[in-house]
């Protein structure tokens, strides 16, 4: 079972490792959602199917925070928070060293290619283009990489990966978007580090963090 960051009657929030998908994909590998359903079924002696709805998703090669709702009512409320951008999401990422400002805002328009499962920066007026916005700041300059903190304003497909790749700063290990070499476990150095939101039932302000993988920590 994954690292449990928070759990109550409404939410299950866990830290995903980078080698498994959040939900079922074409690989057929067991996914995070299945592991978590098994955990709930065993812990609470549930009979029949377990309801667990995904609030956010992160890419298979990334690690970090994934939010799940235990009830349909909670899922609806959390999805509304996502829509209204009321869930603050911070990421830690190692990108290839490039001529970036120490901090800034990236605004692009992205289009997803379904067949390639890849997104591209396109012109604003391009068909199916969606605005992508993030804020970043440099936490540390390393020999070959920049250690950045990223705040996602929008949540587009592969957004962090494609926006930094477009600046000549692909994520470490992300050969799909231009990294020079893959990591041994096929992960990439992108970690969902922190979330902040008001609890959907009691309105308590939640601020939760997830420790990065040891391999990531060893590089910073």
How many percent of the chain have pLDDT more than 70?
99
Q: Where are the alpha helices (DSSP H) in the chain?
A: 32-43, 72-83, 159-165, 214-217
What spatial distance separates the first Cα and last Cα of the chain, rounded to whole Å? 27
28-75 per-position pLDDT tens digit: 889 999 999 999 999 999 988 999 999 999 999 999 999 999 999 999
Strands 11-16, 3-7: pairing is: antiparallel
Q: Report angle CA 14, 200, 12 to the nearest 5 degrees.
A: 20
Give the residue from 19, 62, 90, 58 showing the smallest Cα distance to 171. Answer: 62
pLDDT at 2 (0 to 100): 56
DSSP 217: H
In the chain, count H helices and then E strands.
4, 11
CATH number of 3-209: 3.30.2350.10
152-201 per-position pLDDT tens digit: 999 999 999 999 999 999 999 999 999 999 999 999 999 999 999 999 99
pLDDT over threshold 80, residue 146: yes
């Amino acid at each position: 079972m994954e690292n449990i960051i928070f759990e109550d009657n409404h939410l299950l929030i866990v830290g995903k490792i980078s080698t498994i998908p959040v939900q079922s994909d074409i690989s057929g590998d067991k996914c995070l959602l299945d592991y978590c359903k098994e955990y709930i079924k065993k812990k609470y002696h549930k009979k029949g199917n377990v309801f667990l709805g995904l609030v956010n998703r992160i890419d298979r090669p990334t690690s970090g925070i994934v939010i799940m709702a235990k009830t349909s009512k909670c899922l609806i409320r959390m999805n509304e928070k996502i829509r209204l951008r009321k869930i603050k999401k911070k990421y830690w990422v190692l990108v290839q060293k490039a001529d970036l400002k120490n901090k800034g805002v990236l605004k692009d328009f992205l289009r997803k290619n379904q067949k390639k499962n890849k997104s591209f920066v396109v012109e604003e007026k391009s068909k199916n283009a969606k605005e992508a916005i993030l804020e970043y700041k440099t936490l540390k300059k390393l020999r070959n990489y920049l250690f950045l903190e990223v705040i996602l304003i929008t949540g587009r497909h592969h957004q962090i990966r494609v926006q930094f790749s477009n600046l000549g700063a692909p994520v470490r290990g992300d050969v799909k978007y231009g990294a020079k070499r893959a990591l041994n476990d096929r992960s990439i150095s992108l970690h969902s580090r922190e979330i902040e939101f008001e609890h959907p039932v009691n309105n308590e302000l939640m601020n939760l963090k997830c420790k990065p993988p040891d391999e990531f920590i060893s590089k910073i």
